[in-house]
Amino acid sequence: MQLTDPAVADYLEERLDPHDEILDEMEAYARETKFPIVGRQMGRLMALLAQAAKVRTVFEMGSGYGYSALWFARALPEKGKIICSEGDPDNVERARQYLDRADVIHKAQLRVGDAIEILAGSSGPFDLIFIDIGKKDYPRARSGWRFQDEASSLIFSRQRHPGRPHPGPAEPKPDARGIRGSRA
Ligand SMILES: C[S@@+](CC[C@H](N)C(=O)[O-])C[C@H]1O[C@@H](n2cnc3c(N)ncnc32)[C@H](O)[C@@H]1O
């Protein structure tokens, strides 16, 4: 997700972390496959927030192949933990390889299956729950969180639905309906 003008973003990226081989590779893979990762600006922002809030435990719903998880894992303290949940086993295997290469695999537990069910079966509490599954599942995800731990912070990713969740059609598409239904 692009938060600032692309030219300004390029300038800042060049100065902030110009040579991050693994992030570069993961981003190239996202471009090739059109896979919707959070992107570098959002990744950095989430990592900053996690560090500022002294987050030690993260539950991630919809980890894909580990890009957002890598940002969180790097932001966590050495004994911190991120539980990654993802429905596609190929993505999970890819995440395992990337997180291993980045030397943060010891902070990660990778789980394959429905993220909402995995969360329901996990013992928290989690300092942060990051929700980035199919948007139509957001209301279900939100109610799963209610049973989990009212004290957690939640980040919902909107990805292709920035700003207002729907432009106002009489019958919004399932993803937009899901985002609307996840609001408190
Ligand atoms: C937007 S991508 C995640 C991107 C990732 N958070 C990142 O930024 O690197 C959404 C992922 O959620 C997975 N997914 C969708 N619905 C799911 C569900 N109910 N349970 C687990 N995974 C799900 C998809 O397979 C996909 O990999």
One-letter amino acid identity for 51?
Q
In a domain, 157, yes or no: yes
User: 158, exposed or middle or buried, with CB in 10 Å at 0-12, 13-18, 19+?
Assistant: middle
pLDDT score of 179: 59
Number of domains in the chain: 1
Of all protein residues, the one whose alpha carbon is nearest to atom 7 of ligand 1 is 37
Helix crossing, 40-52 with 67-75: angle to 10°?
A: 30
pLDDT score of 165: 47
Of all protein residues, the one whose alpha carbon is nearest to atom 12 of ligand 1 is 62
Domain that holds residue 132: 9-182
Per DSSP, the three-state class of 81 is strand
pLDDT score of 177: 62
**Separation CA 18–CA 166 (nearest Å):** 36
In a domain, 98, yes or no: yes
Instruction: Ligand 1: list residues with CB < 6 Å.
Output: 36-38, 62-64, 67-68, 85-88, 91, 114-116, 132-134, 137, 159
In a domain, 1, yes or no: no
Burial of 127-154, coded b for 16+ CB within 10 Å and e otherwise, reads bbbbbbbebebbbbbbebbeebbeebee
Query: How many whole angstroms from 132 Cα to the centroid of ligand 1?
Result: 6
pTM: 0.82
Q: What is the pLDDT of residues 112-141, one digit of tens each?
A: 999 999 998 998 789 999 999 987 887 777
User: Do the Cβ atoms of 148 and 124 come closer than 8 Å?
Assistant: yes
pLDDT score of 3: 65
In a domain, 56, yes or no: yes
Cα 48–Cα 37–Cα 90 angle in degrees, nearest 5: 120
Domain CATH number, residue 140? 3.40.50.150
The 8-class DSSP code of residue 20 comes to: -
Mutate to test the pocket of ligand 1, among 23, 31, 83, 86 (most ligand atoms within 8 A of CB): 86
Confidence band (pLDDT; 50, 70, 90) for 17?
low
**Separation CA 152–CA 148 (nearest Å):** 9
In a domain, 75, yes or no: yes
In a domain, 13, yes or no: yes
In a domain, 4, yes or no: no
**Which atom of ligand 1 has the smallest separation from the CA of 88?**
25
Q: Above 60 in pLDDT, residue 105? A: yes
